[in-house]
Amino acid sequence: MAYTRAPASDYDDWGVDGWESLKLIPLMKKLEKYEAQPDCPTHGYDGPIKVSSSGCKMGISNEFIQVGATYHKRQCAEDTDDLETCNTYSPCQKYFDGSTGMRSDAAHHYIYNQAHNPNLHVWDGKRVKRVIFENKRAVGVEFTSDPVSCPDADQSSSIVRASKLVVVSAGAFGSPTILERSGIGAEAILKRCGIEQLVNLPGVGENYRDHYLVLVPYLATDDIATPFRGDSILQQSLARNSLDSKIKWRPDDEELKAMSPAFQLRWKDFFQDRPDKAVALFTPFAQYIPPPSRPLSNILAPRSSMTACYYILYPVSVGSVHINMTEHGKERMDFNTGILDDPSDIVPLNFGYKKTREIFRRMASYRGEFAAGHPDFPEGSAAACREASGPVDLYAPDIVYTTEDDEAIDRFHRDIVQTMSHSLGTCAMKPEADHGVVDARLNVYGVSNMKVADMSISPLNVGGNTYSTALLIGERAAMIITEDLGIDCV
C-alpha cells in the first residue's frame, strides 16, 4: 500500500543487460499516474496505477515531519521517491486514487478490467503442483484444488497445456518451490523429496532476502486521530494503513561514529559511495500495532497509542526457501529467514530504536512509552519506560544509555524483529555460474519455453517497499514476453 520506490542505483547494481535504471525509468513512469505533485521528471502521469496521499492523513504525520526535521537536523520535501533523495522527511504517498480514496492496484487495473477478454482465464482456488516438460521444454502445468481455500473440492490433478510459453509468477516462496517440484534445483533438495532431477540449478530457493522490521508502541493523547477509535468521521481511514510520513535515513558522521565497527565496515563497503541508498526507513503509524513474541496480556494498549516503525533496507543476511517432506510423506516448506545472521544487521536497528524514541518523545501527541512493547531496561535505568504528561522540550538532552541498556535493546531486537514480507531473490536473475536461476530475459536456465516473472528474480535487495519493483518487473516481463512471441501490443 505504501509508495516507497527504490533508488535508481539498485537496478544498476543488478548488472543485468536490459535492466539498467535508464531503461527501466520509462517503464516506471508508464505504469503510474502520480497525483501527489505535478511536473516531477521521474514520475508518470498517464498510467493506470494511481499514487496519492489518499485524502485522509493522521495528525501525527505532520508532528513527525516537523519534529524530526528540526531535532534530527534533516531537510523536508514533498517528494523523496524521485529515485535518488535520502535523509529528507516527507509525506508518504500510497497506491490510492486521490479522488475516490479507493486503493489502486494491479488486480483492478490489469485483470478485473479484462474480464471480457476471451484470451484471459483466471482460475482461483488452485495450487500448482509442477510444470510439465517434454525433452526439457515446458509444455504445461499440473495443478489441484487448494485444500485450504477449497477444502470440499475434488483434489485430483488437472493439466493445462501450453504450446508457446509457461510463465511462473508465484512469488519468492511459490516460484522456487514450483521449480523444485518440477525437477529444477539442487540435487540434494530434490533427492530427499523423491523428485527426479531435470536440471541442476543449486541457486533455486537460495538468496532469500527481505527487510527487517521493528514496531515500538507509544502512548498518545486521548484525542489523537487513529483509525480504530470508532469515530464515524474516521471510518474512511480504515482502508488506509495510517502511515503518512517517513524518512529514508542515512547516518551523518556523528551518528556513524556511534555505531559499531561491524556496521562501519559495512558502511564503507556498501553505502559510503552510494549516496542514494538509505540504511533504514523510519515512519510513524497512527495506531497501535502489537509487537510479536510478547504475551497477549502484556500487549493490549490501555488507551490511545501510536507506533514507531523502523526497518533496515539492505541487510547482509540471506536465507533460503526449499521444499521438504514430513515423516508422514507430506510436503512442507523449509524456510530459513537468515534474519540477523550477520552481526552488522542489528546495529542500525539498535540506532533506529534510540532515534525514533527521541523523535516521538518530542512530538505533541506523546504521552510516554508503552513499556510492554519496549526493551526490558534494568531497574533504575535512565532509559526506563514510563508514562508522561507531555513531550519533552525539543532541545532536551537525549537519553543516555548504559552498556546494560544497550544489551537490553539488543536482546529486544533479537526477540521482536520480524520480516517485512518484502520477500525476494529466490530465483535470482544472474549468471548460472553465480547460482542464478533466470537470465536477463527471464528464461530458466537449462530448459526452454519457461520464464519466471516476479520478485523472486531480484538478485539483490531494493531500498523501498517492493510493490513498486514488482509492478516494474511486470512491465518489463510483458515487454520481453511479447517480443519473444512476436506480439506488438505493449
Residue 135 lies in a domain: no
Residue 443 lies in a domain: no
**Annotation says 108 is catalytic:** no
| Centroid of chain to Cα 274 | 21
Residue 56 pLDDT level (bands cut at 50, 70, 90) = low
Total domains, the chain: 1
Domain with residue 303: its CATH number is: 3.30.410
Q: Which long-range contacts (CB under 8 A, 24 or more apart) does 140-148 make?
A: 140/166, 141/166
- Range in 55-64, 412-421, 429-438 with the lowest mean pLDDT: 55-64
16 has binding-site annotation: no
Q: Are 363 and 61 in contact (CB under 8 A)?
A: no
Quick one: pLDDT at residue 100? 85
**What integer is the mean pLDDT of 318-347?**
92
**pTM summary value:** 0.94
Residue 265 lies in a domain: yes
Residue 224 pLDDT level (bands cut at 50, 70, 90) = confident
**What integer is the mean pLDDT of 282-306?**
71
Quick one: pLDDT at residue 232? 47
Residue 31 lies in a domain: no
Residue 30 lies in a domain: no
Measured distance CA(81)–CA(90) in Å, rounded: 9
**Ordered alpha helix ranges (H), 116-203:** 171-181, 187-192
Residue 326 lies in a domain: no
Residue 366 lies in a domain: yes
**What integer is the mean pLDDT of 167-195?**
97
Residue 35 pLDDT level (bands cut at 50, 70, 90) = very high
**What integer is the mean pLDDT of 327-335?**
84
Quick one: pLDDT at residue 300? 55
Quick one: pLDDT at residue 297? 45
**What integer is the mean pLDDT of 239-251?**
80
The secondary element (H helix, E strand) that includes residue 218 is: strand 212-220
Residue 487 lies in a domain: no
Q: Is the pLDDT of residue 420 over 50?
A: yes
Task: Spot the catalytic one: 72, 211, 413, 422.
Answer: 422
- The whole-chain average pLDDT of the chain stands at 92
C-alpha dihedral, 360 to 362 to 364 to 368, nearest 10°: 60
**What integer is the mean pLDDT of 170-185?**
98
Side chain identity at residue 311, one-letter code: Y
Quick one: pLDDT at residue 301? 56
Q: Each residue of 354-368: pLDDT tens digit? A: 999 999 999 999 999
Q: Is the pLDDT of residue 197 over 50?
A: yes
Range of the domain at 406: 74-92+212-312+340-416
Measured distance CA(139)–CA(401) in Å, rounded: 62
